[in-house]
Structure 1
Amino acid sequence: MTDRQIVPLNEGWQLAEAPARASAAELARLPESAWLNATVPGSAHGALLRAGRIPDPFYGMNEQAVQWVGDKTWVWRLRFRVDADFEPHEDLVFQGLDTYCDVWLNGELLLSTDNMFVPHRVAVRDRLRAGLNELLLCFHPALVRARVIEAAHGKRHLWNGDSARLYVRKAQYHFGWDWGPVLMTSGPWLPIQRQRYGTRIDDVQCRQLHATEAGGPVRVQLRTRWAGDAPSRVSHELLDPEGRPVAAADVSASCGEASLTVTEPRLWWPRGMGEQALYTLVTRLHAGDQVVAVDRRRIGLRTLRLVQQPVAGEAGTSFFFEVNGREVFIGGANWIPDDNLLERITPARYRQRVEQAVAGNMNMLRVWAGGIYEDDAFYDACDELGVLVWQDFLFACGLYPAHAEFQASVRAEAEAAVRRLRHRACLALWCGNNEDYAIAESIGAHGPQAPSGRFPARVIYEELLPAVCAALDPDRPYWPGSPYSPNATGITLSSDPTVGDRHSWEIWHQAMLPYQRYADVQSRFVSEFGMQAHPSLALLERTLPEAERYPESRTMVWHNKAGSGAPDGHRRLAVYVSDNLRAATSLAGQVYATQFIQAEAMRVAYQDFRRRWQRPGARAVGGALVWQLNDCWPVTSWALIDSAGVVKPAWHAIRRAMAPLAVALRQEKNSLRFTVMNAGATRELAMRFKAFDLQGNCRFEQTLGWTADSDVSADGWIALPVSDITVVAEVIATDARTNSEISRDCAWPEPFKYQDFSLASLSFHRSDEGLKVSATAPVKGLWLLSEGLEFEDNFIDLVPGDVRHIAVRGVCRAPVVWTALDQLGGKVPEALIPGAPFSP
């Protein structure tokens, strides 16, 4: 459609509480004093919060004080004027209504909805009035409706939230999760438009046929669907990333299909592998010489394949992605909605989060099944920045029903999502659900001995959804669930480490194994794993009442939802901290301790998983997606970035482990095992090893040459002739030609609580780009923090002789505070941190 045909209906809305089963006439008689100003997109919680009618749900334990909002019926009202010059077609388009909603126009019921994820288009030309019109949206409490449906169909098993959620096509995390609050939102969560047209483009499907040779011609096959008056012809034009035409096709409308050929394509690559070339496909409908409708969308020219083949010397098959013929190790994170009030997630916020993932050397985000199909701004950022997207369909941690009405709703939802997203270069995989196979196994409803009929949603994951994908997006892989492990005998499990993907929760959940044992819980693709940590101290101080700002306060525990039944995340945190570190008594000390453990756990995990990427034909681990990248509210969780957008130390640990060339070091009895992990071209390296006692004396030093083969992870060993003393070992990989440092890692004596790392003195100096830091003895986990500043490297380890240069960006608005393991910490001298912006 052209811009002149779209009239946004986002401003001028009002909101009021309504009787539970009010008619349109009764709603129209609500007193004017009952109405509050509201905006679309929006939620009842958001409107009430702006009006001062409810407290901030994220502060303290206010979550309890706002539960009544989700139990009420809320009506939204818009009065808008319409001129008499109607187009042949006048539609109202509701992109997303959350969830049970009756829609009236001028007192006439237009539709009733029951699925948050299904857009609706209603023809209203004969229902609009010239002059003033009134649109009413009446949202009914989702949980109340859900429990009525559950009573009719039966209670079903689940993890997290109220069991009735399984019958509701609403974002499942709204019912509460082990990292999020219970906030039962309602409202028009996506834009509403009046669309006026004679003809409109309903859909454009584009498929790619690539030549077998790299960089060979690409043929783009196109199919256009329209509504309204039939056009006379359809034209397609493909513009290169600079906006220059490179291909065109003009066909009769009766044909409906066309193709374009790009003779010298610029391919789209994941970050770090090449450019993110995005072409613009422009489709126009013509009525004679007049253009009556236009569609623009950006596409990337690329191939993508999910590779499942034998792994040399091992059982099972691989699970990794190949893009443009090149095998890619995936290092990334799981993504949850970035707020409970979805209208607050701006395009800039989406962009910032994806940029943070990219800066952390991540190349994939998994859009998790308990959230939403994200806003276009999210996928735009992933397209532009080269982040692959693993896209779940929205079924999480439960035995969902599969009666006819439910399946019909799911089909409409899936078809809408696939049509909207299938042109995206970033989109790598459709996945049927999150942990539903695992939960079925946990109660004996799935597996080789399971009786039939106890897992009805298999028909959704194994028939309905793959059929939708095959019909609408046949060139992209579909995977029935995560985790999902179909073995050679035809038996599908959720935990087989030799096939499919796996969630490795033996660390933190289940047996609570030490984090040092991530190598023992690897799999062909580790799509979930993680370790909790507190958010930043500054965020906690804004979230907790002053009297509650101490470890294990009632409000601190409230802001940790982890656990089954009664939350026990604070207990699990305490176990991991006490197993490894000395006790912290202050809130600041506990924040540092939990973030320290999370960072060390992620260093071990990513290094041990990436180490198993090995060589072509022996890709034993194809990827690792940490749970989770982001948070939706101020909470102690597995997130790498808290809800204020502040990265935790674990983000830096992952950034280093996922660098294009990274090294990992471990002490093993009388030797050092090192791993060189290279995602780029072959490089010649000089590997420099040192070992220091805790007083700072160098006890060992050696340099050796090493060839880092392209796209390979490989191990090496050297003898460590100092077994009689406790040492800290370091390896630095430098370019053999230029002597420039590429990567480094340290191996420390553990558990840390048995050692004394307080013997070092730290020195800070100003450098051209920020700070220089050095130490007289080994220093573990130096963490720098200041409002307004970003430290390019942080949570660093120091050994004597190192002078670490840390680039700093931003404007300093508070003192730079530092802390490290066993160090009292302090402030960096203010003279080294001027108020003026740092420049790279």
Structure 2
Amino acid sequence: MTSASPDPTFRRTSLDTADSPAGTGWQLSPLTGVPADWSAVGATPIRATVPGEVVADLLAADLIPDPFDGDNENRLHWIGSTDWSYRTMFAFQRGDQQRHDLVFGGLDTVATVLLNGTEIARTANQHRSYRFDVTSALRDGENDLEIRFEGPVSAAERLSAELGDRPRAYAHPFNAIRKMAAGYGWDWGPDLAGVGIWKSVGIESWSGVRLASVRPLALVEGTSGRLATHVELEWADRAGDAVEVAVTLAGQTVTTEASPGQTSVVLELTVPEVELWWPLGHGAQTRYDVTVEVAGQSFAAAVGFRTAELVTTPDAYGTGFSLVVNGTPIYVRGFNWIPDDALLTRLTPDSYRSSIGEAVAAGANLLRIWGGGIYESDDFYDVCDELGILVWQDFLFACAAYSEDEPLRSEVVAEAREAVARLASRPSLVVWNGNNENIWGYVEWGWRQQLAGRSWGNGYYTELLPAIVAELDPRTPYSPGSPFSYADYHHPNDPRSGTVHIWDVWNQLDYTHYRDYPARFVSEFGFQGPAAWSTLFSVVHDQPADPYGTQMLVHQKAHEGNLKLERGLGDHLPVWRSDPTPDMDDWHWLTSLNQARAVAYGIEHFRSLYPRNTGAIVWQLNDNWPVVSWAAVDHAGIRKPLWHALKRVYADRLLTFQPRTDHDRTADPGVEVLALVAHNDAPDAWTGELVIARRGTGDGSPVLAEQRLPLHLDARSAITVALDADVVTTDDPTGEFLVATVTGDAPATAYGYFVEDTALRLVGPDEAYAVDVTPVEDGYRVRLSARALVKDAALFPDRLGAAARVDSGLVTLAAGDTHTFVVSGAAVDEVALTARPVLRSVNDLG
């Protein structure tokens, strides 16, 4: 969305670093003492960037080392306990305007604003904007603007003491301050809490009337679209003339007159036979341009007409959870989204487009903006609107109990109203969610006893926030929390009802326990794996490298994370050699592969439950720094093996071998046999020949048994195919496997095994495949030709050059199959592309 005004009665004087000719730039200085080791900080004026933040400014001035590198994060914690000043001198002339407002897009976080030595305001919320009338404080000529920030760590501790300490997931009391929770550190992110003028700042000078805000709601009524445009106005005085408010949409313009002092108007337009906005994979993302004009000021946006419902109907299994857009249930293939960089002001429109593009390329159709982050910039929602990616927006409450007392309550009201009003027109936004895991925490994590009757946020989630959504964004459904069961007296994380978070698997259990969950909708689950080799070891310099090295542990934030990585291999994969030192090549490959296997296993199970299951949202898509984490794409933008696995299981059409009870084959109701499930989430029917074969793993992968049948599967449907006894019965489980394929216009393949890889008999790489490399203009083509079963072949060209990328991964081939990896981005050693540790597979683990 954009706003602009050529009107001479409205003038903006930017005070941003990049486009402000009015001053000498911003300077940063500490207001409290810094540790002796950092005495250079503040010795001379520090050039600051606005929008910006203190850590980035200190880094740009070469006063601190890269906070992501080595153990520097721990060395820089003092920044969060230091008070800071941002100051600028700027020239200004009042001109003919009546009113002059100092406008901040965002201040992070507890700040005192002084203009020419006069205190203008105090702020305490990163998640909202501010506007202050400074008409009487401004001078013609030179002006002095200073923002004094209280250290965010000390501020949170002070506020926690004032409000009363409440339970939370991490050490810092992030729940006492309206600042990005993850800035204080999380189990995937660094503790780099800082301060800054993190969004644009300027002076808006105006007379008469100001176009304060526009909230265009695109509603669908039958085959028509109705645009209800809510326009908020602010007046410099009530002595002026009435003004015309005009809204234009689809070649139509409607106007109304606003009298002096009138602060709001609503204008409506109808579009007959409107073209709807659809999610990715369900139709076109049609949008209509809307403009609003008031007294020479203008506003422009693109709106999409769609309906969105959250259906939570009780049924024989419990309570369902289904997102319905334009009357069509959407099977969700999603990712949880965290802020894409620990230093927020480094994010750009291009970085948003690139990261969201990774979700699209993996086959996802929804991103959940998690409640410990931020309300994202318009750039994020622009891309989602354009591409058809649904947005699940958490309100910013995560993993903690929150006071409902003042002054926090008023801040929550202000930020929520601003966020909902700003985002209400977004067609991609299909659910508002009250919080992340806080209701679960109150019920199960011992919070109730600690709170002893004090408020913990329930009033926000059940009363305040749904009321704000109903008022400002009535076309978008609201959910009280995630997880949530939508049924009285149900545990909030009951998998039979509503949404579920599955974390006992990562924390305690083998990943086969995903099949214990008859999940209706999984809004969080995941499994850890390391960042790409080049990414991780660009910041970890332990000698020798070790999973438990000092710097490695700085970049492994999960509690007992390395132990869980090792334990998570279970019987599925062998453990790397550790004597005399860990085999880091195998550690990296095995933990990466196991992450991919675990999450794909869960997704295949959930999809096999369709239509009882209506989707899953993997934790997580992205990283905010180089780290061992649950992400599918690391901080450098390199796709981990998990991403490649998700591309397969997030495809429109999926085949998967799953255990099922077969009463025709056994009289024992507890006995399960292997079946094949086909899920077609495409908009058209899936037809072709289905071939299921039992084959040998060795030379030639001989076919030992085969079953053929026609496949016709309607759009948005699933079937379970019983397998012939001779296909699933084996005398040599260690030397045989199953493969199912669908031929035709929409081919698909699934593999099944009778034993785990620790027992599976595979031939080594030299016998299993031939590999050849062909240089091409933009990189290399690496062709694998299988002579026997090749399981989960993957290429890691970033080990030869950090800029190198590969298009595919985790490729399984039977004898006679071929696959070509496409490598691009950097010139690398061609011979090294053909061998360990760059080319890996399960075959080289024997």
Mapped to 2, the partners of 1:366 and 1:71 lie a distance apart of 32
1:141-187 per-position Cα deviation (integer Å, ceiling 9, x unaligned): 1221222232234322121232x222111111111111112111111
Q: Deviations over 1:295-338 (max 9, x none)?
A: 11111111111112244xx3222101111111110011111111
Q: Does residue 70 of the first structure (1) align with residue 80 of the second (2)?
A: yes
Alignment of 1:55-454 (within 5 A): 55-162=65-172, 164-198=173-207, 199-212=209-222, 216-228=223-235, 231-238=242-249, 245-254=250-259, 256-286=265-295, 292-311=296-315, 314-444=316-446, 453-454=453-454
Q: Secondary structure of 2:620's partner?
A: coil
Q: How far did residue 31 of structure 1 move?
A: 12
State the Cα distance separating 1:596 from its structure 2 match: 0.5
- 2:609 counterpart letter in structure 1: R
Shift of 1:378: 0.9
Give the drift of 1:697.
2.6
Counterparts in 2 of 1:32 and 1:49: CA distance versus 1, 3 Å: closer
- What is the aligned counterpart of 2:543 among 537, 544, 547? 547
Moved more, 782-791 or 367-376: 782-791
The corresponding residue for 2:514 is 518
Alignment partners' CA distance in 1, 2:69 and 2:451: 47
Residue 7 of structure 1 pairs with residue 13 of structure 2? yes
Offset, 1:623: 1.4
The more displaced of 125-134 and 741-750 is 741-750
- Cα distance in 1 for residues equivalent to 2:67 and 2:394: 28
1:687 matched residue in structure 2: 690
Q: Is the 8 A contact 2:496 2:518 kept in 1?
A: no
1:543 is paired with a residue whose SS is coil
Instruction: Label 1:345 to 1:665 Cα distance change in 2 as closer, same or farther (>3 A).
Output: same
Percent identical among aligned pairs is 33
Deviation at 1:631, TM superposition (A): 0.8
- CA–CA separation in structure 2 for the residues paired with 1:54 and 1:209: 52
- Give, in whole Å, the separation in 2 of the partners of 1:451 and 1:795: 48
Distance 1:667 1:304, change over 3 A: closer
How big is the shift at 1:194? Answer: 1.8
Query: 2:31 pairs with 18, 22, 30, which one?
Result: 18
Q: Are the equivalent residues in 2 in contact too, given 1:370–1:394 (CA < 8 A)?
A: yes
Amino acid aligned to 2:724: A
Partner Cα distance (1:814, 1:270) in 2: 43
Check conservation: 1:315, 1:498, Cα contact below 8 A. Answer: yes
Report if the CA contact (8 A) 1:700-1:720 is conserved: no
Q: What one-letter code is carried by the residue in structure 2 that aligns with 1:534?
A: P
Amino acid at match of 1:210: V
Please give the alpha-carbon distance, in whole angstroms, between the structure 2 residues aligned to 1:519 and 1:179: 26
**Which secondary structure does the structure 1 equivalent of 2:245 belong to?**
strand
- The superposition leaves residues 11-35 of structure 1 with CA deviations (integer Å, 9 ceiling, x where unpaired) of 12110111389xxxxxxxx999531
Structure 1 residue matching 2:569: 3-state secondary structure: helix
* SS of 1:152 mapped into structure 2: helix
Match of 2:232, SS state, is strand
1:27 corresponding residue in structure 2? none
Change (3 A) 1:781 1:304: same
Which of 489, 505, 508 does residue 507 from structure 1 map onto? Answer: 505
CA-CA distance at 1:87 after TM superposition: 2.0
Assess if the C-alpha contact under 8 Å between 1:339 and 1:631 holds in 2.
Answer: yes
What amino acid does structure 2 have at the position aligned with 1:323?
V
Letter in 1 for 2:121: L
Tell me, what secondary structure is at the counterpart of 1:176? Answer: coil
What is the CA-CA distance between 1:549 and the residue it aligns to? 2.4
8 Å Cα contact 2:167/2:447 also seen in 1:
no
Indicate how the Cα distance of structure 1 residues 62 and 444 shifts in structure 2: closer, same or farther if over 3 A, else same: closer
The superposition leaves residues 500-537 of structure 1 with CA deviations (integer Å, 9 ceiling, x where unpaired) of 2110112112xx22212312124221100000001100
Hey, what's the Cα distance between the residues in 2 that align with 1:361 and 1:516?
A: 24
Specify the SS of the correspondent of 1:728.
strand
Query: 1:528, 1:68 → 2: CA distance?
Result: 33
CA RMSD of aligned residues (A): 2.5
Separation of aligned partners in 1, 2:680 and 2:53: 47
Distance 1:227 1:750, change over 3 A: farther
CA distance in 2, matches of 1:559, 1:442: 29
Amino acid at match of 1:481: G
Query: Which of 588, 596, 600 does residue 597 from structure 2 map onto?
Result: 600
Tell me the distance in 2 between the aligned counterparts of 1:823 and 1:13. 59
Counterpart position of 2:810: 795
Q: Aligned partners of 2:640 and 2:171: how far apart in 1?
A: 27
After superposition, the Cα gap between the structure-2 partners of 1:692 and 1:307, relative to the gap in structure 1 and judged at 3 Å, is same
Matched residue SS, 2:722: strand
Question: Counterpart of 2:647?
Answer: 655
Aligned partners of 1:445 and 1:454 also within 8 Å? no
Instruction: Tell me, yes or no, if structure 1 residue 723 matches structure 2 residue 730.
Output: yes
Letter in 2 for 1:461: Y
**Corresponding residue number in structure 1 for 2:472:** 472
Paired with 2:406 and 2:570, the residues of 1 have a C-alpha distance of 52
1:361 positional shift: 0.6
1:587 paired with 2:597, answer no
CA distance in 2, matches of 1:764, 1:451: 63
* Residues 626-645 of structure 1: per-residue CA shift (max 9 Å, x gap): 11111111111111111111
Q: Does 1:528 align with 2:524?
A: yes
Q: How far, CA to CA, are the matches of 1:250 and 1:340 in structure 2?
A: 45
Tell me how many residue pairs correspond in the alignment. Answer: 781
- Secondary structure of the structure 2 residue equivalent to 1:603: helix
Matches of 1:282 and 1:184, distance apart in 2: 39
Alignment of 1:550-699 (within 5 A): 550-563=546-559, 568-585=560-577, 586-614=583-611, 620-666=612-658, 672-679=674-681, 680-695=683-698, 696-699=701-704
Is 1:821 the equivalent of 2:844?
no
2:668 paired residue number:
none
Partner of 2:37: none
For residue 824 of structure 1, report the CA deviation from its aligned partner. Answer: 4.1
CA shift, 1:804, in A, is 2.7
What is the CA–CA distance in structure 1 between the aligned matches of 2:179 and 2:443, rounded to whole Å? 25
CA distance in 2, matches of 1:308, 1:390: 16
Q: Equivalents in 2 of 1:370, 1:708: separation in Å?
A: 41
Secondary structure at 2:422 match in 1: helix
| Structure 2: distance between partners of 1:234 and 1:666 | 61
Closer/same/farther in 2, CA of residues 450 and 97 from structure 1, 3 Å limit: closer
**1:651 shift after superposition:** 1.0
Deviations 1:427-446 (A, max 9, x none): 11111111111111124556
The aligned residue for residue 701 of structure 1 is: 706
1:779-821: per-residue Cα shift (whole Å, max 9, x none)?
Answer: 1111112244543331111111222344555554555364333
Structure 1 CA distance for aligned equivalents of residues 438 and 319 of structure 2: 22
Counterpart pick for 1:780 among 787, 791, 800? 791
Matched AA of 1:606: I
CA 1:543–1:766: 2 relative to 1, 3 Å: closer
CA distance in 2, matches of 1:31, 1:376: 34
Query: Distance between the aligned counterparts of 2:677 and 2:282, measured in 1?
Result: 21
SS of residue paired to 1:551: coil
| Secondary structure at 2:841 match in 1 | coil
